Amino acid sequence: MRRMDEIVKQAMAKWPNVPHCHGWLGLDARGQWWMRDDRAQAQGGFASGAPGAKGSLLRHEKLVAFIGRNYAADEAGQWFFQNGPQRVYVELEAAPWVWRVAADGAVSSHTGLPATVRQALLDEAGRLFLATDLGLGLVHTQDMLAAASLVEQGRWQPEPAPAAALPARFGYVLSPQARAAAGGA
Pair (29, 84) in one structural domain: yes
pTM of the full predicted structure? 0.90
Long-range interactions of 150-159: CB distance < 8 A, separation 24+:
150/101, 150/105, 151/120, 155/105, 156/117, 156/120, 156/130, 157/120, 158/120, 158/121, 158/122, 158/128, 159/119, 159/120, 159/121, 159/122
pLDDT tens column, 86-116: 999 999 999 999 999 999 999 999 999 999 9
In a domain, 157, yes or no: yes
Pair (77, 121) in one structural domain: no
> pLDDT band for position 41 (50/70/90)?
very high
Measured between alpha carbons, how far is 85 from 7 in angstroms, rounded to an integer? 10
Pair (62, 104) in one structural domain: no
Instruction: Give the mean pLDDT of 159-173.
Output: 98
Query: Quick check: 131 and 117 in contact, CB under 8 A?
Result: yes
pLDDT in the model for residue 1: 45
Q: Where in the sequence is the domain holding 29, given as residue range(s)?
A: 6-94+171-181
CATH code (residue 88): 3.10.540
pLDDT tens column, 54-93: 999 999 999 999 999 999 999 999 999 999 889 999 999 9
In a domain, 52, yes or no: yes
In a domain, 12, yes or no: yes
Pair (80, 127) in one structural domain: no
In a domain, 1, yes or no: no
Pair (136, 46) in one structural domain: no
Q: What is the number of structural domains in the chain?
A: 2
